[in-house]
Amino acid sequence: MLRWSVIFLIIALIAAVFGFGNIAASAAGIAKVLFFVFLILFVISLVSNAIKR
Protein backbone atom coordinates (compact mmCIF):
# COMPACT_ATOMS: atom_id res chain seq x y z
CA MET A 1 0.00 0.00 0.00
CA LEU A 2 2.92 2.31 0.66
CA ARG A 3 4.08 1.57 -2.87
CA TRP A 4 0.77 2.78 -4.32
CA SER A 5 0.97 5.90 -2.20
CA VAL A 6 4.40 6.72 -3.60
CA ILE A 7 3.19 6.04 -7.16
CA PHE A 8 0.27 8.46 -6.75
CA LEU A 9 2.60 11.04 -5.21
CA ILE A 10 4.89 10.81 -8.24
CA ILE A 11 1.89 11.13 -10.56
CA ALA A 12 0.79 14.22 -8.63
CA LEU A 13 4.25 15.80 -8.91
CA ILE A 14 4.48 15.13 -12.64
CA ALA A 15 0.95 16.46 -13.22
CA ALA A 16 1.78 19.59 -11.21
CA VAL A 17 4.91 20.22 -13.27
CA PHE A 18 2.91 20.02 -16.49
CA GLY A 19 0.16 22.28 -15.15
CA PHE A 20 -2.65 19.79 -14.63
CA GLY A 21 -3.85 21.16 -11.31
CA ASN A 22 -7.01 19.10 -10.91
CA ILE A 23 -5.26 15.82 -11.68
CA ALA A 24 -2.41 16.74 -9.35
CA ALA A 25 -4.80 17.56 -6.52
CA SER A 26 -6.73 14.33 -7.01
CA ALA A 27 -3.60 12.19 -7.13
CA ALA A 28 -2.19 13.92 -4.05
CA GLY A 29 -5.45 13.32 -2.19
CA ILE A 30 -5.41 9.64 -3.11
CA ALA A 31 -1.77 9.38 -2.04
CA LYS A 32 -2.58 11.00 1.30
CA VAL A 33 -5.49 8.65 1.99
CA LEU A 34 -3.45 5.58 1.05
CA PHE A 35 -0.57 6.71 3.25
CA PHE A 36 -2.82 7.16 6.28
CA VAL A 37 -4.48 3.79 5.70
CA PHE A 38 -1.01 2.23 5.49
CA LEU A 39 0.02 4.01 8.69
CA ILE A 40 -3.06 2.82 10.59
CA LEU A 41 -2.61 -0.77 9.41
CA PHE A 42 1.09 -0.64 10.33
CA VAL A 43 0.33 0.54 13.86
CA ILE A 44 -2.37 -2.14 14.27
CA SER A 45 0.13 -4.74 13.10
CA LEU A 46 2.75 -3.54 15.59
CA VAL A 47 0.29 -3.56 18.46
CA SER A 48 -1.07 -7.00 17.62
CA ASN A 49 2.46 -8.44 17.42
CA ALA A 50 3.35 -6.86 20.75
CA ILE A 51 0.25 -8.37 22.37
CA LYS A 52 1.05 -11.85 21.01
CA ARG A 53 4.48 -11.79 22.64
DSSP H helix total and E strand total for the chain: 2, 0
pTM equals 0.79
Output the pLDDT for position 2.
85
pLDDT tens for 3-53 read: 999 999 999 999 999 999 999 999 999 999 999 999 999 999 999 999 998
Kindly list the distances between the CA atom of residue 38 and the CA atoms of 1, 14, 20, 31, in Å, as whole numbers in the listed order: 6, 23, 27, 10
Output the pLDDT for position 41.
95
